[in-house]
Structure 1
Amino acid sequence: MQLDDLAKQLNLVIYDTELAKEGDNFIYRIYILKNSSNKSVSLDDCEKFSRLISPILDLNPPTDEKYFLEVSSPGLERKLTKPEHFKLSIGEIVKVKTKEKEEIISKLLSADDENIALEDGTILNYADIKSTKTYIYW
C-alpha cells in the first residue's frame, strides 16, 4: 500500500516529502495537509500518520542509511513548487515572484498542469514563476 493511500485513511494528503542530510543524520520529512477545506494539521494527525506508516517504512525505507522520520504540516506560508501544490492551494492568498522580478499578492483562483490564474486577472505559466508561497496578512 502506498503512503498516499494510508494518508487518505486518516483524511490527510501528503503535500511533499524530502530526504535531507543534517550533519551526520538523514531526516525523511513528510509534510501533510488535511483532505478538506480546513487544511490545518494537528500534532495528533502527525502522530497518527507517523505510527501508521512506520511499519511500512521499516520494510521499505526511503534510504539505505539510518534516518529519522519527521511528519509535520508544511506551515501556514508554505512553498508551492509543483502543480499539485498549487491545486491544493486554490482559494488561498499567494505571493508570487516572477522571473521578471515582479511580485504579486493575490488569491489563487485556479491551477492546472501548465498555468495558474489569480484573482487580480493575472495568468502565469509555471515557467515564468521564480517562486511562490501561500501568504498570510499579519
Structure 2
Amino acid sequence: MSSTQIDRLRELLEPLAGKRGLDLEDVRITPAGRRRVLQVVVDADGGVGLEACAELSRAVSAALDESDAMGGAPYTLEVTSPGAERPLTEPRHYRRSLGRLVRLRLREGGELTARLTGLDETGLDLEVPGEKGRKPTARRVEFADIAAARVELEFSRRPAGDQSLKEA
C-alpha cells in the first residue's frame, strides 16, 4: 500500500490512540481476497487489554467512516497489540521489556541472549546467564551497537519479585 495512505492513516489514528493512553506502533494494509485488512497495532506501558482494543476499534471505525482515508474499497479493521516476539526498535519497547529475556543481534556480528535489567538514553544493562554452573554476569550494550533486538518467549519466567531492576 502507498506510504502516503499509511501516513494519512497514522495522522488520523495517532491522536485517537494517544487520547486513550496508547502508542500507535504500526499501521498495515494487506490484501485479503477482494477485501483489504487494516491492522492497527497499539501498545501501552501496562500492556493493552481486550477492552482497550475494542474501545479504540470503535473510535477508529467511526473516524474512518467520516473520512476517505481507506477509499471506497471494502476492508476489515483489526486493532491489536504487538506479538510476544515483537522487534524492539524504540526506547519505550525496551523499557516495557525490563526483566524479560531479550535476543540482540550485534552490529559487530554475533548474537547475545540476556535478561534486560536496566536502560538509559544510551544503552542497556543486561544479565548474561552463566553457562555450565557459572554465575550470571553483568554486561552493558550501547544502542548504537545493536543491529536488531526482540523479546524471547519464556515458559518458566522468573516471578517479578525475584529481580531487582533499575531504570534511568
For normalisation by structure 1, the TM-score amounts to 0.70
- What is aligned with 2:141? 123
3-state SS of 1:45 partner? helix
Structure 2 residue 41 is matched with structure 1 residue 31: yes
| Structure 1 position 72, deviation (Å) | 0.7
CA contact (8 A) 1:15 1:74 kept: no
CA distance in 1, matches of 2:23, 2:68: 17
| Structure 1 position 31, deviation (Å) | 1.6
CA distance in 1, matches of 2:113, 2:101: 10
CA distance in 2, matches of 1:2, 1:108: 36
Name which of 79, 84, 90 aligns with 1:76: 84
CA distance in 2, matches of 1:22, 1:116: 38
- The farther-off stretch of 66-75 and 46-55 is 66-75
- What is aligned with 1:48? 55
**Identical counterparts, % of pairs:** 23
CA distances 1:8-30 after superposition (whole Å, capped 9, x unpaired): 443x4224113232354432222
Structure 2 residue 33 is matched with structure 1 residue 16: no
CA contact (8 A) 1:13 1:32 kept: yes
Name which of 52, 58, 71 aligns with 2:65: 58
CA contact (8 A) 1:77 1:135 kept: yes
Q: Show structure 2 runs of 5+ residues with no match.
A: 1-10, 127-137, 156-168
- What is aligned with 1:110? 119
- The code of the aligned residue for 1:117 comes to L
Structure number with larger C-alpha Rg:
2
RMSD of aligned alpha carbons? 2.9
| Structure 1 position 48, deviation (Å) | 1.0
Structure 2 residue 110 is matched with structure 1 residue 101: yes
CA distances 1:52-92 after superposition (whole Å, capped 9, x unpaired): 12222233455446332210111222211234433444454
CA distance in 1, matches of 2:140, 2:118: 10
- The code of the aligned residue for 1:104 comes to T
3-state SS of 1:123 partner? strand
CA distance in 1, matches of 2:69, 2:99: 33
CA contact (8 A) 1:18 1:29 kept: yes
